[in-house]
Amino acid sequence: MRPIECHLITPNLDLSILKFPLIIKPRFGSGSRDVIAVKNQDELKNALSKIDLNKEDFLAETLVEGVEYGLSGAVVNGKYIHILIREKLLTPLPYRQSIGNLSASEISEVSHYMQRVATRLNLKNCLINADLIITPEGEPFIIELAPRPSGHYLSSIFVEIATGVNMTKEWINMILGKPFSFEPKFTKHAIIRYFDFVGRVIAPNFEILKEKLGIVKYECNINGVLGIVTDGASIMNRGYAIIVANNKQECLANADALIKKFKKETKMNQNVKKAQQNSYKLWEEHVSTGYLLYPNEYLTRYIFANRKSFKTVLDFGCGDRRHLEMMSKAKIPNIIGVDYNKSVLQIAKNRCNENGVKCKVFQSGEVLNLNEILGGEKVDCVVCWGITHLNSKETTSNFIKQFASVLNEGGSVFANWRTRKDSLYKKGEEIDKDTFIIDEESRKGMLYYFPSLDEIENIYDSAGLKITSKDYEEFSTNDGKIINSWHIIEAKKLKEI
């Protein structure tokens, strides 16, 4: 039933007998691991140089041309039942990893073929997951078949959205002798699209795009530098978007429009990175002098006004504890402080202990991962006060995105941003757009970032946060010679509809 040549690759195999093009793949495994296409002897030798035949067996088999599909079905008392066939979107050769699945109408030739396969393999009762190719001659060719549900969010989510059939639930009902049905209730035009980016990207605001693009479910876990997609393991943890539309073309067009909404994030300028690290050290010295002893009045009013709805508050950039103590007085039940500077955090811990402030305090690493720091705990509010201007655009955008990831639905971020009316704006060397190394004595050597209000709005939008209030605070010191000017922004995490 698989009319192709297939050879077990051994050190003694005569490579000259092989006919190209070929697929080289492990004899066992899943998720397209180490599967690669080769067109000639040079590509074959290069592929073989990267595998260890002493550790596992590899096969060389004919590369079958055609359109690749995935299939979800069931066998009940030896009878094959079609649930959904999915046309695959694939990476370019030499890899053949799926980056999307598009629902399709039942293909009778495939269903008849699957019945023959089930009979030939003596399958009686099982779920079916198969990958197959329909050749240019219209012949189905099985790549692989397994008596189990498919992974990659397909049987667990996509199949039910496209057909109304919850395969696992119906299978359990069948096993328990309860009423069941694997027959599709409908077949919607739907696509599940995975995120096959390389490098750093900034995800769009899915909530804003849901209605326009027909996004019915999504998950986005993109963080850090993304590698090239070669197999299932290299793409599946990034997430997905499922889109329902009126026809196949609209599904593809909307999925393509979504992918184009992701923005390439440029690597941080090395001069900026060096300046930022130096700025952290200088700020640590600045805070350790006790310069910032008292809580900000604006922030204090906000916390007290919302204390009944805030069960857990995260103070990002908590410094030596000035706002942690204020939150304790507001009787916030669960207070968390996070800061990059170790010595400042120790001061915060000591002062909290001395004053009976109950809170948890954590140090963030050079590569921020708030979900890891909090152990998956969610918060109702993130406070980021006096911090945004001390970081580059890339760093600030990243931690705003991470704030969104640790917020409960409907939770808020409350932060202040230096405006361009501030006395320190342009007081130093501009090392990147809107980013300066300050040369004024009071902040000499520190990195300061002064984004426009439009840019601030873009940063929140990219993080999936909706700005709910924009206020402004300004005060002067030194007999009016120094102006401190701030945007004060509240943003919320939208609730999924």
Q: What is the pLDDT of residues 98-140, one digit of tens each?
A: 999 999 999 999 999 999 999 999 999 999 999 999 999 999 9
Region label for 8, one of left (φ > 0), alpha (ψ between -120 and 50) or beta (otherwise): beta
From 47-51, 128-132, 174-178, 460-464, the region with the lowest mean pLDDT = 47-51
Q: Bridge-partner residues for 73, per DSSP?
A: 82, 128
Residue 320 has pLDDT above 90, yes or no: no
Q: Please give the pLDDT value at position 222.
A: 84
pLDDT band for 177, please (50, 70, 90 cuts): very high
Average pLDDT of the chain to the nearest whole number: 88
Q: Please give the pLDDT value at position 231.
A: 83
Distance CA 24, CA 34 (A): 8
pLDDT digits (tens, 9 = 90+) for 477-495: 889 888 999 999 999 997 6
Share of the chain above pLDDT 90, in %: 53
pLDDT digits (tens, 9 = 90+) for 223-276: 767 888 888 888 888 999 999 999 999 999 999 999 998 877 665 567 777 777
pLDDT band for 9, please (50, 70, 90 cuts): confident
pLDDT band for 380, please (50, 70, 90 cuts): very high
Q: Please give the pLDDT value at position 71.
A: 96
Q: Please give the pLDDT value at position 226.
A: 84
Question: Which of the pair, 426 or 358, is modelled with greater confidence?
Answer: 426
Distance CA 157, CA 457 (A): 33
Residue 497 has pLDDT above 60, yes or no: no
